[in-house]
Chain A
Amino acid sequence: MHRSPYRPALVLVVGVLGILIATAFNTTTRAAEVRPPGRSGDLVDVVREMEGQRESLQERLGDLREEVARLEREAAEDAGMTRSFTQEFDRVRLNAGMAEVAGPGVEVVLGDGADVPKGADPNDYLIHDTDIAGVVNALFVGGAEAVAVNGERIIATTPIRCAGTTILVNATRLGNPYTIVAIGDPETLEQAVREDSHGSLLFDVYAKQYGLHVSLSRVTETSVPAFKGSMRPVYATPDDGGV
Chain B
Amino acid sequence: MLVLALALALGITLGLLTNVSVPLGMLTYLGVAVLAAIDACFGGVKASLEGTFDDKVFISGFLTSTLMAAFIVFVGDRIGVRELYLAAVVAFGMRIFENLGSVRRLMFARWGWE
User: Out of B20, B33, B44, which one reaches A10, CB within 8 Å?
Assistant: B44
Distance of A17 Cα from B7 Cα, bound (Å) = 9
Within the complex, the shortest CB–CB distance from A29 to chain B, in Å, comes to 8
| A3, A19, A24, A26: the one within 8 Å of B48 (CB) | A3
Kindly identify which residue among B7, B16, B58 contacts A25, using a CB–CB cutoff of 8 Å.
Answer: B16
- Name A1-51 residues within 8 Å CB distance of B: 1-28, 30-31
A21 with B15: CB separation less than 8 A: yes
Structural contact, B1 and A5, CB atoms closer than 8 A: yes
Contact status A14-B20, CB under 8 Å: no
Bound CA–CA A11/B7 (angstroms): 6
How far, in angstroms, from A30 to B26 measured CA to CA in the complex? 13
Do B12 and A22 touch (CB < 8 A)?
yes
Q: Is the CB of B110 closer than 8 A to any CB of chain A? A: yes
* Complex alpha-carbon distance, A30 and B89, angstroms: 24
Given A14-B8, A17-B34, A20-B30, A30:B21 Cβ within 8 A: yes
- Partner of B11 from the list A1, A16, A27, A30 (CB cut-off 8 Å) is A16
Binary per-residue interface labels of chain B (74-102) against chain A in the complex, 1 for a CB within 8 Å, 0 otherwise: 00000000000000000000000000000
Q: What B residues does A27 contact at CB under 8 A?
A: 21-22, 24, 26-27, 30
Further 15 A-B residue pairs, CB within 8 A, beyond A3-B48, A11-B3, A14-B37: A2-B110, A5-B1, A5-B49, A5-B53, A9-B44, A9-B55, A13-B37, A13-B40, A15-B10, A18-B13, A20-B37, A21-B11, A21-B12, A24-B27, A27-B27
Instruction: Please tell me if the beta carbons of B9 and A18 are within 8 angstroms of each other in the complex.
Output: yes
